[in-house]
Amino acid sequence: MTVAGRKLVIVESPAKAKTIAGYLGADWDVEASVGHIRDIPTPSEMPAEMKKGPFGRFGVNIEDDFDPFYVVDADKKKKVRELKSLLKNADELYLATDEDREGEAIAWHLYETLQPKVPVKRMVFHEITREAIQRAATQTRDINVALVDAQETRRILDRLYGYEVSPVLWRKVKAGLSAGRVQSVATRMVVERERERMAFVRASYWDVDADLTPGAEEDLFTARLTGVDGKRVATGRDFADDGTLKGDRHVQLDEEQATGIAEALRRAEVSVAEVSEKPYTRRPSAPFTTSTLQQEASRKLRLNSRNAMRVAQRLYENGYITYMRTDSTALSDAALSAARQQAREMYGGDYVPDAPRRYEKKVKNAQEAHEAIRPAGDRFRTPKQVEGELRGDELRMYELIWMRTIASQMADARGSTASLKIAATLRDGAPAREVELSASGTVITFRGFLAAYEEGRDDARSNRDDEERRLPKLGAGRPLTVRRAEAGGHETSPPARYTEATLVKAMEERGIGRPSTYASTIGTIQDRGYVTNRGSALIPSWLAFAVTRLMETHFARLVDYDFTASMEEDLDAIARGDEQRAAWLRRFYFGDEASSADGLRDLVEDLGDIDARAISTIDIGDGIVVRVGRYGPYVEEVVPAGVDPKTGEVLDATATGEGQPRRASITDDVAPDELTPAMARELLEQAADDGRVLGQDPDTGRDIVAKAGRYGPYVTEVLPEDEAGGKGKAKVKPRTASLFADMDLKTIELETALRLLSLPRVVGVDPESGEDITAQNGRYGPYLKKGSDSRSLTSEQQLFDITLDEALAIYAQPKQRGRAAAKPPLAELGTDPVSGKPVVVKDGRFGPYVTDGETNATLRKDDDPEQITPERGYELLADKRAKGPAKKTARKKATKKATTKKAATKKAAKKTAAKTSGTKKASTAKKA
């Protein structure tokens, strides 16, 4: 029996549900769907009766208006049952997922799956405060079918793109690779920047700095040489990427010229030639959008994109900030009033302009659906007021958002900028030379918004033109004394690599991707091995070069920046209702006859012959190439016929054509722009080297050699020809052992090499079982083995040193899950607010994890076990609890159940597909 007046609210996350429940009355039930509850299945997840039908290949019927087939995820079936049970006791359903396309799609999927018989209302809000939630409960709307169409189109588009293009990469580059509408373009951007660095030619130039004063030491200032005999002195910005000067209006000083000018300046008569002064004004930055928040969090908080969004998500769900996935810079009237009032209270009325500042987004394809990211509520809480509730990264990010919002409504910074041109005549030779020096300084007389906030910079080395520097008051003709004059040499720098912050900025400027996708896109290209991090810089792998070259050569339109941005515009049109989902997908996949544009299917079918070897070959110059092979990248140099590939000695002067190539593996620590032909030859020489003979094994008489290999330095024995094997002979495998981490290939001696080759070492015999205990070195490090029971050791040196008694003591301890050697916690995080038990970070067999003794949660890729905050640890445990215990047999049961339906007729299968796929979503949404 339904309880009168009972209302069920469904949101995405448990944290959001908990916060919202506190703002609604006792007759409201708030439950979380924990994200999406259903999706288009992969072919392996497709029900057996559907695999041979029109949905079998993509999970999408491309012949019937691109109708998708959806299934409830195996790990969400329990959640769906729980929601249906709650729905039985409710007489109203509120779908309160996020107010964006993905949130709208989640709401629609919930509606389609739950099939409610009670009235359904779409509840939307952009902040989780009591006022906002209670207001949203009374101001509901219907599901926006156009937004659902846009998100569904994006999902189908990504499925078609990935399933058609990825197999080409598997066949022609490497198995297991993936292509994606946004990820492939982002990879191309990183690769193109590395190509620019590889092609860059450094140029050297010199300049002169001088310390000058009109008399008093406190008036000392620095000026730089800017002109010689009427020509401007070249600086780094005046050189092209090939190392040549742009134009002929500059003079490039070398060391001798610059040193001579510096020496002559110390003796020259110097005076002020020209003085100019102009007002200085600087406006505050707009409030945060998703991309600018990620950029600033990278600069100031040292958070990568994924971690920044995790922290922002927690702040939003707990009611501290507004919705964090937005590309709007607008603030509501209430937020404008709150920011202005708080700025006035903290800094005074002079720091607040007469009218509110309103910002317009000037980024391609910007959507103004939400507010900018700001503190939640109609009156903002200061960072001081939330110190007791927030800690670590959450407090720092809240403070960042608060400062940026307040500053956006404050007055301009004002001041004046003075510029001096200084003339000197150098009489150290004939004829005399006229040189010019320049100095500028900015004095800020009113700090305005700078009193609250100043935006960070991507390039810490650059000097801001508006950096505050004070010059003395001087007039034209005023003589100056040179206190110091020094020449300095410089080299031009290649274009800076992208960081996560600058890549997000570049993608946003080009209109590629959306705020909600930036973090996941960067995470994907890192997880796929296309991009790695060195500090904050993003470095493409050689694999990324090969993939990008194939895409540029055979799928040029798909990785074209303008085409990718135009797809975002088309999705926007679908969201507005100006474009039809099925018609747009038909043009994308089958082609557009009106414009004679090929579709994705035609591009894949008409590829022709792809030279996989050529695609995976990158020429680095001087006859040396990099090839991306099955086992990784390597350098190759083809030696002419008749030349010894190892020594370079000419063996046959009459030989013509190509001889045997020389090859050497490339280690992961070498960035593409660092692999010069000279370095490549060093690698080739090391690979061609037969190794250093350390001596002979006294027991076997075989030579022991130390060599550098693909996986690091190692020692091995050289077998005689009769043992080495050949045609018709049994081959004996030589003993080989890797060097320990603290060993040096250049200094290793025969005695140590023999000890390495003696492994595994028998430590002794277990007196109880009679089994040998051996010390061995394995893939996951050193360990002991007794029969099938293995225990980890803490250091490689123990392989040589551990005694039988010590080994028996290790085996006497209870066996730990994974790595057997018990280790102290990596970090202690405090008491979990849910379980009330102490939380620690431990190192497990499969990596670091956080645990409270009851629940274990593996750290994500970007979580640093040594720097993880308590809040992050609690969040990981909460996420793991929300998912519930892993059910290994769930998928097997689902497959078995699906198999029993094989006898179903095609008509019944088609009916099921139509019902599940949502072809009637317009009518069902209208009912909502």
- 542-554 vs 183-199: helix crossing angle, rounded to 10: 110
User: Which pairing describes strands 7-11 and 28-32: parallel, antiparallel, or unpaired?
Assistant: parallel
Cβ contact 106:33 at 8 Å: yes
Cβ contact 176:170 at 8 Å: yes
**Residues 605-626, buried b or exposed e (16+ Cβ, 10 A)?**
eeeeeeeeeebbbbebeeebbb
Cα separation, 880 vs 874, in Å, equals 10
Task: Tell me which amino acid residue 180 is.
Answer: G
Cα separation, 402 vs 375, in Å, equals 6
CA distance readout (Å), 197 to 39, 469, 507, 532: 42, 34, 20, 16
**Secondary structure (H, E, C), 284-306:** CCCCECHHHHHHHHHHHHCCCHH
Q: DSSP letter string over 472-527?
A: ----TT-EEEEEEEEEEEEE--PPPPPBHHHHHHHHHHHT-S-TTTHHHHHHHHHH
Give me 848's structure tokens: 């670091």
Cα separation, 808 vs 793, in Å, equals 13
Q: Residue 542: phi, psi to the nearest 5?
A: -65, -30
Cβ contact 869:877 at 8 Å: no
Cα separation, 106 vs 109, in Å, equals 5
Cα separation, 177 vs 166, in Å, equals 6
CA distance readout (Å), 680 to 627, 685, 711: 12, 9, 17
Question: What is the longest distance spanned by two Cα atoms in the chain?
Answer: 108
Cβ contact 165:594 at 8 Å: no
Cα separation, 285 vs 354, in Å, equals 18
Please name which of 415, 339, 418, 413 lies closest in space to residue 371, comparing C-alpha atoms: 339
- Write down the catalytic residue from 323, 518, 530, 874: 323
Q: What is the dihedral of CA 248, 251, 253, 259, to 10 degrees?
A: 170
- Determine the 3-state secondary structure of 189 from DSSP: helix
**Residues 773-792, buried b or exposed e (16+ Cβ, 10 A)?**
bbbebeeeebbbbbeeebbb
> How would you classify residue 789: left for phi > 0, otherwise alpha for psi between -120 and 50, otherwise beta?
beta
**Secondary structure (H, E, C), 380-433:** CCCHHHHCCCCCHHHHHHHHHHHHHHHHHCCCCEEEEEEEEEEEEEECCCCCCE
Cβ contact 750:711 at 8 Å: no
Q: What is the dihedral of CA 599, 605, 609, 611, to 10 degrees?
A: 70
323 among known catalytic residues: yes
Cβ contact 27:50 at 8 Å: no
Cβ contact 824:849 at 8 Å: no
**Residues 156-189, buried b or exposed e (16+ Cβ, 10 A)?**
bbebbbbbbbbebbeebbbeebbbbbbbbbbbbb
Residues 6+ away with beta carbon under 8 Å from 330: 358, 359, 368, 371, 372
β-bridge partners, 121: 94
Cα separation, 224 vs 210, in Å, equals 6
Give catalytic residue positions. 323
